[in-house]
Amino acid sequence: MFNRIYNLVFIIIFALHILGIISIPNEIRYLMIAFYLILLIYSLLNKKTNTKLNGDDDIFVMTTNPNKPSPSDPNMEKFMNDLNQSIEKKKLDKIKVKNE
C-alpha cells in the first residue's frame, strides 16, 4: 500500500516539477529517485508467488492458467454431449422456422 501511495506522490511531484509549477532541488530529487528505485527493487524481491520449480528450490513461478478438467472427465463428457445436443436442437428449430 505504501508503495502505491509513494508512486502516486512521486509522479505528481515530478509532473509538477517538469511543468515548472514547483521547483525541487537536485539533492531532494536524487534522493526521491534513489528511494523510488530501492522501494521498487524491494517490492520486486518480496513479490509473492505460488509455484516452486523444484522441491528443494527457493525459486517460485507464478502460474495464471486455471486448472481445466480433462476431456476424459465423465462430468465434462456429459456436459459436452448436452451442449452439442442443445446446439443441434437449436439449429433444427431455426431450420423449421425458416421453412414455415
What does the domain layout of the chain look like in residue ranges?
2-61, 68-100
Q: What is the mean pLDDT of the chain?
A: 78
pLDDT(56) > 80: no
pLDDT(12) > 70: yes
Of all residues in the chain, what percent carry a pLDDT higher than 70? 72
pLDDT(50) > 70: no
Residue 98, CB-side half-sphere exposure with 13 Å CA sphere: 6
The DSSP code sequence of 42-86 is: HHHHT----EESSTT---EE---PPPPPPTT-HHHHHHHHHHHHH
pLDDT(19) > 90: yes
Mean pLDDT value of segment 7-21:
89
| pLDDT at residue 11, as a whole number | 87
